[in-house]
Amino acid sequence: MPARRVGLRYDLIEEIGFGGMGSVWRGYDTVLDREIAVKTIRFAQIHSETDAAEFAERFRREARITARIRHHGVPQVYDAVLDAGLSEVYLVMELVEGAATLRSYLIAGQPLPVEWAVAVAAQIATTLSYAHALPVVHRDLKPDNVLVTPNGTVKVIDFGIAALLEPGTPKLTMTGAFLGSAAYMSPEQASGDKVTPRTDLYALGCILYETLCGRPVFEGTVPAVLHQHAGTAPTPPRALRADLPDELDRLVTELLAKRPEERPGDAAAVYERLLPLLPAPGAVIAPDREPPADVPDPTIVFRRPNAPLRIAETAPAPRFQGSLPATAPVNGDVLEQRLRRHVDEYRGLLADGRALQAADVLSGIVEPAGRAFGTGSPRVLELRLDVALARFVGREFRRARAEFDALAAAFARANGFGDELTMQCRKFAADCRVELGELTEALSDMRALLADVRAVSGDAGETALELRLSLGLLLALMRRREEAFDVLDALYDDLLLVRGGDDGLTVEVAEALARFGDDEPPASGSDSADRFVN
């Protein structure tokens, strides 16, 4: 099915989350050709004009509040739409790739490593400090509203029920609604008293307690839990986990104080008390204190601050949107229909200049096609080639290079090293390396490819001629001027003989040679000399 579009430019691809206020979709901005998250309102919960107005106001407030918190710990807001008839109400936000909620790492009875829990709490405290400075109180801080990304960065989401602590700002509560979650609700919030930034600190204490002890502060029915928050002292963390440092035990206990004034002064003070418990820059975590397998490491932020991006880890795993489960049988007729639909949508998106979205759409059919036809079948390989070409056009050169390398090997296995598609993939992989600044590797690849092309089709075939031009331009880019001139001069002579002086490729080489500034250049009318760098 074609993607649902909102706001004339945002395509909704797949629902990735939902809650009381609405749904969150992975989508595409068709103007900027980038992935986004779109949070839409859930109209099924609106039963009256009053409810509609309340929802609309809360939604507008979320957009403005979240946009004002300028910190990487809160997903960035790109756009917000709220029309008069409430037919379209949504936020367009940064898509946090590969993140999972903190809740997904909390398993009853299994405490997390101390460094892991402290690193998550410190990042939350930093984010809260930016929000509280506005001032904004989250009011619903809980593991479900904390994301942990694959690189260990923590993000706090859903400020939709936050209350601005500014004069004249109305307190928003839907009739009958119970804001906040019982397991993380402060005593003052449960009793309807005024919330302050220290309300969020209580919730942070509940989160830290649960990550360290493997169980919530209080358990039971909602009324029982609220009653305990109001008047029951929690079991000290060290009574449940003897290896906790004294200072951490004291901090958690103070965060869970019944009276707000007995809690730490602010989120910055919490961070300062967590800081000595965090691993120092360059520290190595002992094997017995490492996070569980397949769990991101939030200590990386502190052990390697401002570390460079690890290139090998930048490409997310391919998403096969709408694909069948690996164990599901594949119906041939249904698959053929899906193939045609995906290919048609791919072509339309490419024609519209939305190359990255086109790549994503077509990749959604690769996995089921592989199960039906075989992963090494020509049909599947050509689908993968179309995906790689779209990524190349969309300037996702690193992901495209990896796919071209893999495809070159696959086509060579199927058809031999002299196969045209094998050669094309090798050429595109080399072009990707040029764009990525991997010039030495690109030069080696291009020379090896040219030697193979010459062995198959000679020196004057179309592929060989284009490769010789690319080789000359690459040598010039690397400031190897004499070699570049020799390659391009010989190529120009051959082009005059084979194609004549008016051929487009001949003109392009002539303009490149003219950049050397030696003799009078041959006549030229092409703009492609801009590709040459001296």
DSSP of 192-204? T----HHHHHHHH
DSSP code for 274: H
Judge whether 100-167+180-302 and 332-531 match in fold: no
CB contact at 8 A, 16 and 38: no
- Report the distance separating Cα 296 and Cα 152, nearest Å: 5
The confidence score (pLDDT) of residue 534 equals 34
The domain made up of 4-93 has a fold known as Phosphorylase Kinase; domain 1 (3.30.200)
* 88-109: b (≥16 Cβ within 10 Å) or e: ebbbbbbbbeebebbeebbeee
- Report the distance separating Cα 245 and Cα 276, nearest Å: 11
Handedness of CA 44, 49, 55, 59 (dihedral sign): positive
Domain regions of the chain by residue span: 4-93, 100-167+180-302, 332-531
187 φ, ψ (degrees, to nearest 5): -60, -40
Q: Are strands 136-137 and 154-156 parallel, antiparallel or unpaired?
A: unpaired
Q: Of 11, 33, 140, 297, which one is the catalytic site residue?
A: 140
* 460-483: b (≥16 Cβ within 10 Å) or e: eeebbbebbbbbbbbbbbbeeeee
Instruction: State the CATH class of domain 332-531.
Output: mainly alpha
The confidence score (pLDDT) of residue 250 equals 97
- Three-state SS string over 337-367 comes to HHHHHHHHHHHHHHHCCCHHHHHHHHHHHHH
Burial class of residue 349, CB neighbours in 10 A (0-12, 13-18, 19+): buried
- Report the distance separating Cα 357 and Cα 85, nearest Å: 30
Burial class of residue 250, CB neighbours in 10 A (0-12, 13-18, 19+): middle
136 φ, ψ (degrees, to nearest 5): -135, 130
CB contact at 8 A, 254 and 206: no
The confidence score (pLDDT) of residue 410 equals 92
Q: What is the pTM of this model?
A: 0.68
> Cis peptide before 135, with omega less than 30 degrees from 0?
yes
- Report the distance separating Cα 77 and Cα 73, nearest Å: 12
424 φ, ψ (degrees, to nearest 5): -60, -45
User: Checking phi first, is residue 423 left (phi over 0); if not, alpha (psi -120 to 50) or beta?
Assistant: alpha
Taking alpha carbons only, the member of 227, 225, 247 closest to residue 238 is 247
Q: Per residue of the chain (534 residues), give pLDDT as tens.
A: 567 888 889 999 888 887 656 788 999 999 999 999 998 876 555 667 777 777 677 777 777 878 888 899 999 989 988 765 666 778 899 999 888 999 999 987 889 999 999 999 999 999 999 999 888 889 999 999 999 999 999 999 987 655 434 444 444 443 333 445 899 999 998 888 888 999 999 999 999 999 999 999 999 999 999 999 999 999 999 999 999 999 999 999 999 999 999 999 999 999 999 999 999 999 887 777 777 667 889 998 999 888 886 655 444 444 433 333 444 455 577 888 889 999 998 999 899 888 888 998 898 889 889 888 888 899 999 999 999 999 999 888 888 999 999 999 999 988 888 888 999 999 999 999 998 888 999 999 999 999 999 988 888 888 899 999 999 999 998 989 999 999 999 999 999 998 999 999 999 999 989 887 544 434 333 333 333 333
Q: Which CATH number fits domain 100-167+180-302: 2.40.50.840, 3.30.360.10, 3.30.390.50, 1.10.510.10?
A: 1.10.510.10
Tokens of 185: 């609700």
Query: Is 527 noted as a catalytic residue in this protein?
Result: no
237 φ, ψ (degrees, to nearest 5): -55, -40
Q: Are strands 136-137 and 77-82 parallel, antiparallel or unpaired?
A: unpaired
Tokens of 505: 């490729």
CB atoms within 10 A of CB 54: 17
